[in-house]
Structure 1
Amino acid sequence: MTGTQPGYIISVFQLAGMCTGAFDSKEVASRLQTQLRGLGLELTAWEPVSQSGCFAVLVWAEAQAGGRVDLLEARRQLTTQLAPQQLQVRIQREDVFLAMHRL
């Protein structure tokens, strides 16, 4: 977390069997920035990831000032918006994400 607002990690990746490597991570991050703002989140950083030829992008975001984020609704909306590009999305609190990856 970079500020006083809760931090979130959003993982965007290709659907299984769709690993073409043809997705532009900068374009996806740019679209996500607009979509996240509509959900009360501000993109603070992103990192493209490629593993076994599969595209993914990790996005760090914070709740906008004074805002609360409904993670289930955010995931539902992002999933709907990204489905036409054959992308999946996962979203979780940054503290939970970091704790899970320390195990």
Structure 2
Amino acid sequence: MSIDFHPTKVDLLRSCDSNDESRLWDVCGGDFNLILKGGSRQVRFQPHLGHFLASSTKNIVNIFDVETNSIQKKVTKGHVKDVRSICWDMSGIYLASVSTDMVY
């Protein structure tokens, strides 16, 4: 459903699928290392540093700590309908999400 390269570890990328799983892939080896629940629509690494990964599933946006692979924040307020897209600002401080009912 979505894919994004890590901004500093260029041999790593994260993908997500319709089963609500996101996988961390080693581009050189072609293997996936880690599966996380909570990403069926979009995955986006925080720009420049890649400390955080944002993902969306249904009307929820999850923010994962990349080092610990744990959810740091689960945003459940705001969207009634499914989140269609997420995007970090260039500083990596702010995250926007959009659905057919609103931008948050």
Indicate whether the TM-score tops 0.5. Answer: no
Greater relative contact order (CA < 8 Å, ≥ 6 in sequence):
1
In terms of fraction of residues, the more strand-rich structure is 2
Scaled by the length of structure 2, the TM-score of the pair is: 0.31
In terms of fraction of residues, the more helix-rich structure is 1
